[in-house]
Amino acid sequence: MVDYFLSIWEKYSLPFAICELGGGDGTFALQFGNIMRKRGKNNIQYIFVEQNEWGRQNVLKNLPRTWDVQVFTTIDDFINSHSHFNGIIFSNEFLDAQPVRVIEKSSDEIYEIYITMDKQLKLTETKRPCSEDLLYLIADFDLEITNGQRIEVPIYINPIMSKISRLLREGFVITVDYGYLKQDWEVPSRREGSLRGYYKHQLNKNVLNHVGEMDITHHVHWEPWIAEGNKHGLTCRGLVRQNEFLLHHCNILQYLKSNNSTDAFSGEAKRNRAIRSLILDDGLSQLFDVCIQQKKSSSG
């Protein structure tokens, strides 16, 4: 990823600036910082947007002191302190954690799924007819479902993309996440939608279990995300699987090391296995997509 960012900054004469959205505990930021430090890059601006206080402090403490490191709790906080930003806005599994509304079609009518409490004080689902504002979003996003099908409505797309557009004057938006295209939602096994939770690293399809203790995620609707970007002057330059991105945009194979050792646990062997796991079709990497969007300055 470092090589790809460097190529963008240099090819398009952008400042060495990156804004990471939803960076969690700062793992990516610190790994990025270590690599850039080894390459002698001491003039980076790193904007870290994350609600978790520990993550923000971790980044402030451990990124190179020669860098211009700034941390913010929300995108709004960043916007309020900067008139604009030029560079790369990057996120990894940021969108899939955003709030959604869930709809289901029954007897040719679309209902929204609400959460209520039964007589035993347990959380349960209930259906209500969709509001006009939700029906507008469904039409705007061109979401089509059949009777018995359930899907998530990504209500966050418009506000997040609007904020990114206000902030970014010139540069790229690189979004790494789980996601589906329209035809992917039509697969029978996905008729119940993609909303699910992870409790102690185990998949749990019932998001009402372990309330407050699970990470709840969904798959991103890529067409609405890209279409909203187009409305705000962000042109989609590519939507590819992460393994394809690593092969064709990051030239990841250059990091394979020749290894004549019979030790399967040597540093070279471990490194080569890790790289192969990222590019093989049966690896975790093929579950992620990378969306590349570019915004040019009005004068450029």
Tens place of pLDDT per residue across the chain (300 aa): 888 899 999 999 999 999 999 999 999 999 999 989 888 888 899 999 999 999 999 999 999 999 999 999 999 999 999 989 999 999 999 999 999 999 999 999 999 999 999 888 899 999 999 999 999 999 999 999 999 999 999 999 999 999 999 999 999 999 999 999 999 999 999 999 999 999 888 888 888 888 889 999 999 999 999 999 999 999 999 999 888 887 776 655 555 556 666 655 655 666 555 555 555 555 555 679 999 999 997 654
Examine the domain organization and report whether 92 and 107 are in the same domain: no
Are 58 and 172 in the same domain? Answer: yes
Integer CA distances (angstroms), 174 to 48, 68, 87, 181, in order: 15, 21, 11, 17
Question: Is 234 in the same domain as 92?
Answer: yes
Residues in CB range of 134: below 8 A, 6 or more apart: 101, 103, 112, 153
Containing structural domain, residue 118: 101-153+195-215
Residue 36 tokens, joined: 């850039």
Task: Say yes or no: 205 and 232 in one domain.
Answer: no
Decide if 48 contacts 23 (C-beta within 8 A): yes
Considering only CA atoms, which of 288, 154, 176, 156 is closest in space to residue 221?
154
Rg (CA), the chain: 21
Alpha helices in the chain (DSSP H): 2-11, 27-38, 53-62, 75-81, 132-140, 157-167, 182-185, 222-231, 242-248, 267-279
Give residue 229's pLDDT.
Answer: 97
* Token reading at 7: 């190529």
Same domain, 63 and 163: yes
Instruction: Determine the pLDDT at residue 277.
Output: 57
Q: Are residues 77 and 136 in the same domain?
A: no
> Which ranges of 109-156 does DSSP label H, i.e. alpha helix?
132-140
Q: How far apart are CA 167 and CA 256, in angstroms?
A: 38
pLDDT of residue 268: 63
pTM above 0.75, yes or no: yes
> What integer pLDDT is reported at residue 10 of this predicted model?
92
